Structure 1
Amino acid sequence: MSGGKWLRRLQFGVLATLASVLLAGCGSDYVVLNPKGPVAGTQYDLIMISIILCAVIVVPVIALTAFIVYRYRDTPDNKATYKPNWDHSTTLEIIWWGIPIVIIAILGYFTVRDTYALKESPNKEVKPITVQVTSLDWKWMFTYPEQNIATVNYLQIPAGVPVQFHLSAEAPMNSFWVPELGGQIYAMSGMTTELYLQADEPGEFQGRGANFTGEGFAHMNFNVKATTQEEFDQWVKEVKGTTPAMTKEDYEQLKKPGLTEVATYSSFPEGLFEEIVAKYGHGHPVDASEIRTYGDKKDETSAPQMPNMNMTPGMNH
Structure 2
Amino acid sequence: MRQTTITVLSLLAATSLTACGGDKVLLTSEGPVAQGLSDLMLTAIYVMLLVVIPSIIMALWFGWKYRKSNKDADYQPHWAHSTAIEVVVWGIPIIIIAYLAYLAWWGSHEYDPYKPRTENPAEQLTIQVIAEQFKWIFIYPEQNIATVNEVRFPEQKQIAFRVTSNFTMNSFFIPKLAGQIYAMAGMQTQLHLSADNTGVYRGFSSNYSGYGFSQMRFKAHSVTAPEFEQWVQAIKNGQGNTVVVDDKGTTAIQKGLLDQAEFKSLRDGNRAQFQIDAMVKTARTEEEKKAAAIAQAEGPYPHHPHPVTYYSSVESGLFESVINSYMGNYHGDHHPVAHGENMQMPTEHADAQVTATPAQQHDAVATDATATAAGE
Matched residues in 2 for 1:305 and 1:174: separation?
15
2:105 is the alignment partner of 1:112: yes
Instruction: Flag the 1:77–1:104 CA change in 2: closer, same or farther, 3 A.
Output: closer
- Identical residues among aligned pairs (%): 36
**Corresponding residue SS for 2:256:** coil
Q: Unaligned regions of 5+ residues in structure 1, if any? A: 1-10, 308-317
C-alpha displacement of 1:79: 5.2
Instruction: Say if 2:260 is the partner of 1:264.
Output: no
Equivalent position SS for 1:32: coil
CA distance in 1, matches of 2:62, 2:349: 59
1:305 aligned onto 2:356: yes
Encode CA deviations 1:177-210: one digit per residue, 9 max, x unaligned: 1111111111111211111010111111111111
| Partner of residue 122, structure 1 | 117
1:246 is aligned, of 239, 258, 271, to: 258
**1:131 aligns to what SS in structure 2?**
strand
Distance 1:87 1:168, change over 3 A: farther
Name 2:92's counterpart in structure 1. 99
Matched, 1:65 2:59: yes
Alpha-carbon shift at residue 111 of structure 1 (Å) = 2.6
1:194 is aligned to 190
Cα distance, 1:274 vs structure 2: 1.2
Q: 2:157: which partner in 1?
A: 161
Moved more, 121-130 or 164-173: 121-130
Partner of 1:283: 330
In the alignment, the residues of structure 2 paired with residue 292 and residue 192 of structure 1 have an alpha-carbon distance, to the nearest angstrom, of 15
Greater RCO, 1 or 2 (C-alpha within 8 Å, sep 6+):
1
Aligned residues of 2:324 and 2:343 also touching (Cα < 8 A): no
* CA apart distance, 1:304: 5.0
Q: 1:173 is matched with which residue?
A: 169
CA distance in 1: counterparts of 2:176 and 2:145, whole angstroms:
25
The one-letter amino acid of 1:88's match is H
CA offset digits 1:29-59 (Å, max 9, x no partner): 3011111111112112212211111111111
Given the alignment of the two structures, is residue 144 of structure 1 paired with residue 114 of structure 2, yes or no?
no
Q: Is the 8 A contact 2:204 2:217 kept in 1?
A: yes
State which drifts further: 205-214 or 21-30: 21-30
Q: TM-score, normalization: structure 2?
A: 0.69
Counterpart of 2:281?
A: none
Amino acid at match of 2:217: N
Displacement of 1:270 after TM fit?
1.8
Deviation above 6 Å: which 4+ runs of structure 1?
A: 14-17, 294-297
Is contact 1:176–1:186 with CA below 8 Å preserved after alignment?
yes
Q: Distance in 2 between matches of 1:85 and 1:292?
A: 80
- Residues paired across the two proteins, number: 292
- Mapped contact 1:130–1:295 kept (Cα < 8 A): no
Find the aligned partners of 1:230 and 1:286 in 2 and give their Cα distance: 44
1:177/1:208 contact within 8 Å kept:
yes
Note closer, same or farther for the CA distance 1:92–1:179 as it changes in structure 2 (3 Å cut).
same
Native 8 Å contact 2:65 2:73 kept in 1: yes
Alpha-carbon offset, residue 271 of structure 1: 1.5
Name whichever of 285-294 and 39-48 sits farther off: 285-294
1:18-57 residue pairs with structure 2 within 5 A? 18=12, 21-23=15-17, 26-57=20-51
> 1:204/1:277 Cα in 2 relative to 1: closer, same or farther (>3 Å)?
same
Moved more, 115-124 or 46-55: 115-124
Q: Secondary structure at the match of 2:86?
A: helix
- 1:94 is paired with a residue whose SS is helix
2:354 maps to a residue whose letter is A
- 2:317–2:344 contact (8 Å) kept in structure 1: no
Letter in 2 for 1:171: F
SS of match in other structure, 1:266: strand
Q: Hey, what's the Cα distance between the residues in 2 that align with 1:31 and 1:115? A: 21
Structure 1 residues 157, 66: closer, same or farther in 2, change over 3 A?
Answer: same
Shift of 1:251: 1.0
Distance (Å, rounded) in 2 between the aligned partners of 1:16 and 1:102 = 25
What SS does structure 1 have at the residue aligned with 2:354? Answer: coil
Does 1:212 find its partner at 2:208? yes
User: What SS does structure 2 have at the residue aligned with 1:273?
Assistant: helix
Distance 1:20 1:144 in 2: 38
Q: What is the rounded CA distance, in whole Å, between the counterparts of 1:37 and 1:18 in structure 2? A: 26
Residue 24 of structure 1 deviates from its aligned partner by 6.2
| Cα distance in 1 for residues equivalent to 2:235 and 2:318 | 19
Q: CA deviation at 1:23?
A: 3.3
User: Structure 1 pair 220/56, CA: closer, same or farther in 2 (3 Å)?
Assistant: same
Amino acid at match of 1:100: P
| Partner SS state of residue 283, structure 1 | helix
> Superposition RMSD on alpha carbons, in Å?
2.9
Q: Shift in Å at residue 154 of structure 1? A: 0.3
The residue aligned with 1:293 is 347
